[in-house]
């Protein structure tokens, strides 16, 4: 439509309108679309263990977290692959760095729960990484 230089409120030509309707009719078929994702290299061999490693961090600009799947084979070789990542811009209403660090850690925990549910592989205990002593102290506080 851009190539035809039509305005947003102008009617589409009949041919393009029919193509658009065909596309819309086929969209529900995407609900059944599945794509197998291979986590290991082809020559990696038999896998001994799978473990999720989550890393979270924050700054005044924003916060984020990444999740990697760490795979070890029978020969002790390690392969890591990115599974998921999230990044957010810090809220307009100013927040402290410790609060943003804690928010990033919470996002990592949510990602862990989601991946534990969705992955069909035998996962060991997850590992969480942070450079925030505030988050570590909060987690160790039994009174909160």
What are the structure tokens assigned to 95, written together?
């927040």
The beta-strand segments (E) located in 1-144 are 47-58, 62-73, 78-89, 127-130
Domains of the chain: 47-140 (3.10.20.370)
Helix (H, G, I), strand (E, B) or coil at 54: strand
Q: Who contacts 122 (Cβ-Cβ below 8 Å, separation ≥6)?
A: 50
Q: Would you state the pLDDT for residue 144?
A: 60
DSSP one-letter string for 79-98: EEEEEEEEEEEPPSS---HH
Mean predicted confidence (pLDDT) in 59-72: 96
Q: Would you state the pLDDT for residue 71?
A: 96
| Distance in angstroms (rounded) separating the CA atoms of residues 62 and 45 | 40
Q: Would you state the pLDDT for residue 61?
A: 93
What are the structure tokens assigned to 132, written together?
């925030």
* Residue 112 CA neighbour count, 13 Å, CB half: 20
Distances from the Cα of 42 to the Cα of 39, 73, 80, angstroms: 9, 12, 14
Note the pLDDT tens digit of each residue in 66-125. Answer: 999 999 999 999 999 999 999 999 988 888 999 999 999 999 999 999 999 999 899 999
| pLDDT surpasses 80 at 142 | no
Note the pLDDT tens digit of each residue in 11-52. Answer: 889 988 999 999 999 999 988 888 877 888 888 999 999 999
What are the structure tokens assigned to 85, written together?
């990542």
């Amino acid at each position: 439509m851009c190539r035809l230089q039509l305005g947003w409120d102008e009617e589409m030509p009949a041919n393009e309108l029919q193509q658009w309707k065909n596309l819309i009719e086929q969209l529900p078929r995407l609900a059944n679309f599945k794509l197998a994702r291979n986590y290991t290299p082809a020559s990696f061999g038999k896998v001994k263990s799978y473990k999720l490693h989550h890393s979270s961090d924050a700054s005044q600009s924003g916060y984020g977290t990444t999740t990697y799947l760490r795979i070890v084979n029978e020969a002790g070789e390690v392969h890591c692959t990115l599974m998921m990542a999230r990044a957010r811009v810090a809220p307009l209403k100013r927040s402290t760095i410790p609060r943003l660090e804690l928010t990033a850690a919470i996002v990592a925990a949510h990602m862990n729960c989601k991946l534990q549910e969705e992955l069909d592989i035998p996962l060991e205990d997850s590992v969480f990484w942070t450079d925030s002593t505030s988050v570590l102290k909060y987690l160790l506080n039994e009174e909160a």
